[in-house]
Chains A and B, each alone.
Chain A
Amino acid sequence: MTIDMSQFYQVFFAEAAEHLESMESLLLALDHENPDDEQLNAIFRAVHSIKGSAGTFGFGDMADLTHVLEGLLDKLRKGELRLSEELVDACLEARDVLGGQLATHRDGAPASPAAAVVAARRLAAVAEAPAPASEVAAPRPVATPADTIFSFVLESPEADQAAVMEALCAELEDFGAVTIEQRDRTAGQPWQLRIAACRDAGAARDVIAFVANAVDLDTVASTTTQLPTDEAAWGLFEDSEVAPDDDGWGLFESVPLPEQGQEADAADGSYGFFSAPSAPAEPERAREARPAANAETTIRVGVDKVDLIINQVGELVITHAMLQQIASALDPIQFERLHSGLAQLERNSRDLQASVMSVRMVPISTVFNRFPRVVRDLSGKLGKQVELKMSGEATELDRGLVERIVDPLTHLVRNSLDHGVETPDKRLAAGKSAVGTVTLKAYQHSGSVVIEVGDDGAGLDRERILAKARERGMALGSANGDRLSDAEVWNLIFEAGFSTAEQVTDVSGRGVGMDVVKRNITALGGRIDIESMAGIGTRMTVRLPLTLAIVDGMSVAVGTESYIVPLGYVLESLQPEPGMIKRMGGVNSLLQVRGDYLPVIALHELFGIRNAETDFTRGIMVLLEVDDRRAALFVDALLGQHQVVIKNLETNYRKVAGIAAATIMGDGRVAFILDAVALVSKAAAGMPAAA
């Protein structure tokens, strides 16, 4: 009998992937001297869950490998094996193979059965290690099995249920003798299944959870406290820390299940179980688990749904702008209520927008989490000793950015490891400690998310870079590069094909890295800067915009055109007096403001706009600041301040210098949003190197 389980595959793939991820971070976080029981159990549970569900879905390769891994982990958590570097490596390798197997089943990636065999052998070898000395934590209480009754509603349509139940029972036989309690169910009523002498109720519940409907799942009434929240079954995987019970802590002591109809009062039932005393640890766990179970309510939402909402909020902002424009022509006193209604609408839209944007924000830890592994593996491979220091993992950034920043950041980290940090001997010879440090830092700063990747290695070699550039015939200015500032020299490495590596390793050195990194970051609307000092270290700073969709802008007129200046960069606006305008080199203009000289960006010249004001004293100077560089933007007049929805110009057209994006104004016309960052950078670059 075959049932079409493919509808459940997606859930399995997503959850298995999460388990693999948590396995990895837990394995890396283990303290070898004194491993935390909770962590060991969590790793065990993750592996066990994958094993159970992989078996149900017929992914034999994963079930087999997890079986071996599970056996090893079981010994580990019982204290029969000692934790060692070798063991962790073997587990990590197995985890990687599982990831590959998952990819094969999910994406159709090519399978490599040999890898699984190697990993399994390695695990077996490590498992042979002699039992540790008595300093290991006391063995866990051995579970005494008991009957467990499960109550649930199946997700598949009525017609298939018998078939699904058969398959389910077959799978659950692993845990104990299975009997279906109610023979004549009416449709829609929960099924009840008893597993006699159930060995591991938590895991059994996981298996059932795959075919039972989360929403209608009354209680997978094993003896845990999870219940009433049906999400418990799904949520199980997320809150494995929260539900320490599945592991057999209190469950098995729990006892007097059966004959009493406890599905209905499963909730009480479980409380009752926990009061049944056995190991002193239980009651505390129960108390902890209960409140935590209530706190855990999350929903898994597709990103496309969130994006749709964001677009709709964007359209709402545009519609409001249109109404506002029409209403502005109406007498404020006569139409007072209309105006105040519109003002309220604006507040509501703004709040809605902020809430929606925050839905898309995820902490950068989702990106940073992979780096401990990357650093560990790579430093091992390169024979270097490196410590990774991360900070600001809670910094949030837009989800759309997260996925696209991973590759560039990975490249930067690998570069630091490969080219930045020196080998231990070189470091010692240079008077540094043998262990190098790579730092990953994230924080928010004036409308941007800033990510720093730094190392305390050898720093960039100016001469090597210049030599390479000369070799490639790149234009290096008058003194063939000698007069270039350090910053300009560092920027050379962003040229395509540039690499000063002596040999190409499979890590880096092929010269296809930095230009792609820069391009990817720029495509996200961000930028990357490099600082470096020979012998001290290097730091790459990536800046990304905080919000993608909506920005506060000031609209300005230049000739008959109008443009939007992102308000975040505007310091102030003023009408200049003749004395404030200075010339430099006869060509460039400077604006003197309170002792500072700012380069002037004359938009009408830049964009070739006719009929614009050319006399600086008859227009407005909008002072812009980007990081610590300033410039003065010359425009005819200020038109107003609006919230605008950013629309990508490159979707249908291409990048235009000086323009960041486009938007639609209240009158339906398209207006361009200026690329303040590029404009100011360019203007400031024309200034002689000063403060």
Chain B
Amino acid sequence: MNRHRDNDDTDTRSQEFLTFILGGEEYAIDILRVQEIRGYDAVTPIAHAPEFIKGVMNLRGAIVPIIDLRIKFGLGQPDYTPFTVVVVLNVGRRVVGIVVDAVSDVISVADSQMHPPPELSRAVDLRYITGLAMLDERMLIVVDIEGLMLSADMALVDEAVI
């Protein structure tokens, strides 16, 4: 993983992000939410779960649900190869995994490189886009991954117990 350091050293506040590619767009999420990155393997499907919830996987003894964001955001027909990547996240008090097209790298984004979110968004709900980061020629969509994963339409969390 390369680290891209921003040119402007006088900006003291910057955050680190993991970037990944999904449906031709590049997204950035808070690195602190990322637990690990692994391959897609042995997922047990859950009855009557929405199509984008592929099932659960055994992560060293923990039962982790896997959500394929490619399906969730309607980005064409996904395939599962030995190179398919799962980003394992810590959101809220849960561990969940998301399947993306590819993982890019870990970068630092200074406040000066952060711009307000766009008016429209194709895939991710605008509520969860915190901004756009411009790095060299790359435009990264910065996403509040925790808010997104815990939102009702991700169907991961449910209010009532019964």
Q: For the complex, is A651 an interface residue (Cβ under 8 Å from B)?
A: yes
Q: Tell me whether B45 and A561 are in contact (CB under 8 A).
A: yes
Residue of A nearest to B49 (CB): A656
> Which A residues lie within 8 Å of B134 (CB)?
none
> Which A residues lie within 8 Å of B155 (CB)?
654
Q: For the complex, is A405 an interface residue (Cβ under 8 Å from B)?
A: no
Task: State the total of A-B contacts with C-beta under 8 angstroms.
Answer: 77
Residue of B nearest to A560 (CB): B45
Within 8 A of B (CB), among A507-527: 518-519, 522-523
Q: A649-B63, A670-B57, A670-B58 are in contact. Are A654 and B158 (CB under 8 A)?
A: yes
Cα of A607 to Cα of B49 in the assembled complex, Å:
10
Q: Tell me whether A664 and B48 are in contact (CB under 8 A).
A: no
Q: Tell me whether B162 and A662 are in contact (CB under 8 A).
A: no
Encoded as 1 (CB less than 8 Å from any A CB) or 0, chain B from 87 to 103 comes to: 00000001110000000
- Min Cβ gap B46→A in Å is 6
- Min Cβ gap B50→A in Å is 12
Residue of B nearest to A661 (CB): B63
Q: Tell me whether B47 and A656 are in contact (CB under 8 A).
A: yes
- The 10 A-B residue pairs whose C-beta atoms are closest, nearest first, are A607-B47, A654-B158, A670-B44, A652-B94, A653-B65, A662-B63, A670-B56, A669-B42, A664-B58, A647-B63
Cα of A669 to Cα of B47 in the assembled complex, Å:
16
> Which A residues lie within 8 Å of B94 (CB)?
651-653
Q: Which of A315, A651, A669 has a CB less than 8 Å from the CB of B44?
A: A669
Residue of B nearest to A515 (CB): B162
Q: For the complex, is B76 an interface residue (Cβ under 8 Å from A)?
A: no
Q: Tell me whether B161 and A655 are in contact (CB under 8 A).
A: yes
Cα of A159 to Cα of B58 in the assembled complex, Å:
52
Q: For the complex, is A671 an interface residue (Cβ under 8 Å from B)?
A: yes
Residue of A nearest to B44 (CB): A670
> Which B residues lie within 8 Å of A522 (CB)?
161-162
Residue of A nearest to B160 (CB): A519
Encoded as 1 (CB less than 8 Å from any A CB) or 0, chain B from 16 to 54 comes to: 000000000000000000000000001011111100000
Q: A649-B56, A662-B63 are in contact. Are A671 and B44 (CB under 8 A)?
A: yes
Cα of A652 to Cα of B55 in the assembled complex, Å:
12
Residue of A nearest to B47 (CB): A607
Q: Tell me whether B64 and A652 are in contact (CB under 8 A).
A: yes
Q: Tell me whether A654 and B58 are in contact (CB under 8 A).
A: no
Q: Tell me whether A318 and B47 are in contact (CB under 8 A).
A: no
Q: A522-B161, A652-B96, A653-B56 are in contact. Are A658 and B65 (CB under 8 A)?
A: no
Within 8 A of B (CB), among A479-529: 518-519, 522-523
Q: Tell me whether B161 and A523 are in contact (CB under 8 A).
A: yes
Q: For the complex, is A138 an interface residue (Cβ under 8 Å from B)?
A: no
- Min Cβ gap B29→A in Å is 18
Residue of B nearest to A562 (CB): B44
Cα of A669 to Cα of B63 in the assembled complex, Å:
10
Q: For the complex, is A595 an interface residue (Cβ under 8 Å from B)?
A: no
Within 8 A of A (CB), among B57-104: 57-58, 61-65, 94-96
- Min Cβ gap A665→B in Å is 9
Q: For the complex, is B135 an interface residue (Cβ under 8 Å from A)?
A: no
> Which A residues lie within 8 Å of B157 (CB)?
654
Residues of B within 8 A of A (CB): 42, 44-49, 55-58, 61-65, 94-96, 155-158, 160-162
Q: Tell me whether B64 and A668 are in contact (CB under 8 A).
A: no
Cα of A658 to Cα of B62 in the assembled complex, Å:
21
> Which A residues lie within 8 Å of B45 (CB)?
561
Q: Tell me whether B62 and A652 are in contact (CB under 8 A).
A: yes
* Tally of chain A residues near chain B (CB < 8 A): 31
> Which B residues lie within 8 Å of A609 (CB)?
47
Q: Which of B46, B95, B96, B162 has a CB less than 8 Å from the CB of A656?
A: B46
Cα of A656 to Cα of B158 in the assembled complex, Å:
10
Q: Tell me whether B48 and A607 are in contact (CB under 8 A).
A: yes
> Which B residues lie within 8 Å of A671 (CB)?
44
Within 8 A of B (CB), among A306-350: 315, 318
Q: A653-B156, A654-B158 are in contact. Are A672 and B65 (CB under 8 A)?
A: no
Cα of A333 to Cα of B49 in the assembled complex, Å:
46
Would you list 19 pairs from A and B whose C-beta atoms are within 8 A, ordered by A residue?
Answer: A519-B161, A523-B161, A606-B47, A607-B48, A608-B47, A608-B48, A647-B62, A647-B63, A649-B63, A651-B62, A652-B65, A652-B96, A654-B156, A655-B162, A656-B49, A662-B63, A664-B58, A664-B63, A670-B58
- Min Cβ gap A307→B in Å is 14
Q: Which of B56, B63, B156, B158 has the most CB atoms of chain A within a 10 A radius of its CB? A: B63
Q: A522-B162, A668-B42, A670-B58 are in contact. Are A651 and B48 (CB under 8 A)?
A: no
- Min Cβ gap A664→B in Å is 5
Q: Tell me whether A670 and B63 are in contact (CB under 8 A).
A: yes
Residue of A nearest to B65 (CB): A653
Extra A-B contacts (14), CB below 8 Å, given A651-B63, A652-B156: A519-B161, A607-B48, A647-B63, A649-B56, A652-B65, A654-B156, A659-B47, A662-B44, A664-B63, A668-B42, A668-B58, A670-B42, A670-B55, A670-B56
Cα of A278 to Cα of B128 in the assembled complex, Å:
83
Cα of A654 to Cα of B149 in the assembled complex, Å:
13
> Which A residues lie within 8 Å of B56 (CB)?
649, 653, 662, 670
Within 8 A of B (CB), among A557-613: 561, 606-609
> Which B residues lie within 8 Å of A518 (CB)?
162
- Min Cβ gap B34→A in Å is 15
Encoded as 1 (CB less than 8 Å from any B CB) or 0, chain A from 668 to 686 comes to: 1111100000000000000
Q: Which of A652, A656, A658, A672 has the most CB atoms of chain B within a 10 A radius of its CB? A: A652
Residue of B nearest to A522 (CB): B162
Residue of A nearest to B155 (CB): A654
> Which B residues lie within 8 Å of A668 (CB)?
42, 58
> Which A residues lie within 8 Å of B55 (CB)?
670
- Min Cβ gap B57→A in Å is 7
- Min Cβ gap B82→A in Å is 17
Cα of A523 to Cα of B161 in the assembled complex, Å:
7
- Min Cβ gap A202→B in Å is 48
Q: Which of B48, B49, B58, B61 has a CB less than 8 Å from the CB of A315?
A: B61
> Which A residues lie within 8 Å of B156 (CB)?
652-654
Q: Tell me whether B46 and A664 are in contact (CB under 8 A).
A: no
> Which B residues lie within 8 Å of A669 (CB)?
42, 44, 58
> Which A residues lie within 8 Å of B160 (CB)?
519
Q: Which of A519, A653, A655, A658 has a CB less than 8 Å from the CB of B63?
A: A653
Q: Tell me whether B42 and A672 are in contact (CB under 8 A).
A: no
